[in-house]
Amino acid sequence: MERGGGEDKRVVGGLAGVVGTMRASGTGNREAVMPGTAITVRVPATSANLGAGFDCLGLALDMFASVTVTFSEAEQPPTEDVGEKMVLSAVRHAYQRLGKPVPGGVRARYQVAIPLGRGLGASAVARVAGVLAVNELERGVFDEQALLDLVSELEGHGDNACPALFGGLQVCVQGGDGHYVRAASRFPADAHIALLIPDHSMPTKEARKALPESYSKADTVHNIGRAALFVAAMASGRMELLAEATDDRVHQRQRAALFPPLFDIFAAARRAGAYAAWLSGAGSSVAAICPEEPARAVANAMLAASKAAGYDGRALVTRIAKEGATVSRVELVGE
């Protein structure tokens, strides 16, 4: 996690949201900005699991959400917005950890959002935004370990939380003492990620219900080896190993019941030149890793296969983001 270097664009984007959120009423035509602190957090979307690495592998995508969290004295009305609610509950979780009361008025406004329930880590984005905003307001009270723990606890696993905070390709597991343990892996800088983002959502809660309580020894052994192979292949640039490395037995077959063309979409991606494809997080998006040259064709092929089965959506090409979340801060001075 880096602190923002004062990039104008990001700060201005944050401030625009703040002014929209924090206008005081009853001040005539020219509304005043409430005094307070506006913290803008820029967080990457993430793709988790990466085939066989269920709940432990994830990577940051070069697609960033931007959320401004404002803290003021004034009580704020309750929100019905799903994203804002998740940010605010992360703020409460962080203050609970500090043993301090939550400041009176907190709002969260998205300038750029990641679509919900598409397996792109939108819930991790919201939770990272809430936790980092508190950390900034409280002058860096949490270290990296505490930040990872706070976000992963809310998520229930660290595979989106970790790359959303720190960027890149990450392995993250919960240790026996409850703390999350992470290691970043190298990855080829020129790898491209083609994404199919279907119009339908697959809420993570529902997609986890599709999974069995236990697995056979054969399936467990199958996945352990492949999750390890994925990291070794990425670290050494041996992309030809990724097809085998993403062959999963723990969640994708089971989740295909919720998105039947899933394996046809994988096959279309491979035919178009992808090294490998996987269900992104709990779905519904599908990610394919490929060289730059066929990346657009891979994205189009996945969209065509999905549409052919009656599932519309959109396709795009992005890359793995090296950097994770960044923070900028503006003090709002009232009149």
Ligand X SMILES: N[C@@H](CCOP(=O)(O)O)C(=O)O
Give the footprint of ligand X on this chain (CB under 6 A): 48-49, 54-55, 119-121, 123, 157, 159-160, 204, 208, 251, 281-282
**Choice from 201, 210, 237, 319 touching ligand ADP (CB under 6 A):** 201
Q: Which residue is nearest to ligand ADP (CB)?
A: 117
- Nearest distance, CB of residue 277 and ligand X, angstroms: 15
Q: How far apart are CA 32 and CA 24, in angstroms?
A: 6
Q: Are 23 and 33 in contact (CB under 8 A)?
A: yes
- Nearest distance, CB of residue 21 and ligand ADP, angstroms: 21
**Residue 152 found at the interface with ligand ADP (CB under 6 A):** no
Q: Are 32 and 335 in contact (CB under 8 A)?
A: yes
Which of ligand X, ligand ADP, none does residue 221 bind to, with CB < 5 to 8 Å depending on kind? none
**Residue 203 found at the interface with ligand ADP (CB under 6 A):** yes
Q: Are 200 and 249 in contact (CB under 8 A)?
A: no
- Specify the 3-state DSSP secondary structure of 305: helix
- Nearest distance, CB of residue 83 and ligand ADP, angstroms: 7
- Nearest distance, CB of residue 159 and ligand X, angstroms: 5
Tokens of 186: 């190298």
Q: Given the rule CB under 6 A, which of 100-108, 169-177, 197-205, 303-311 is the region that contacts ligand ADP?
A: 197-205
Q: Are 253 and 270 in contact (CB under 8 A)?
A: no
Q: How far apart are CA 45 and CA 62, in angstroms?
A: 7
Which of ligand ADP, ligand X, none does residue 153 bind to, with CB < 5 to 8 Å depending on kind? none
- Nearest distance, CB of residue 126 and ligand ADP, angstroms: 7
Q: Given the rule CB under 6 A, which of 33-41, 114-122, 234-242, 245-253 is the region that contacts ligand ADP?
A: 114-122
**Residue 204 found at the interface with ligand ADP (CB under 6 A):** yes
183: nearest Cα among 172, 167, 198: 172
- Specify the 3-state DSSP secondary structure of 157: coil
- Nearest distance, CB of residue 130 and ligand X, angstroms: 16
Q: What value does the CA radius of gyration of the chain take, rounded to a whole number of Å?
A: 20
Length of the chain: 335
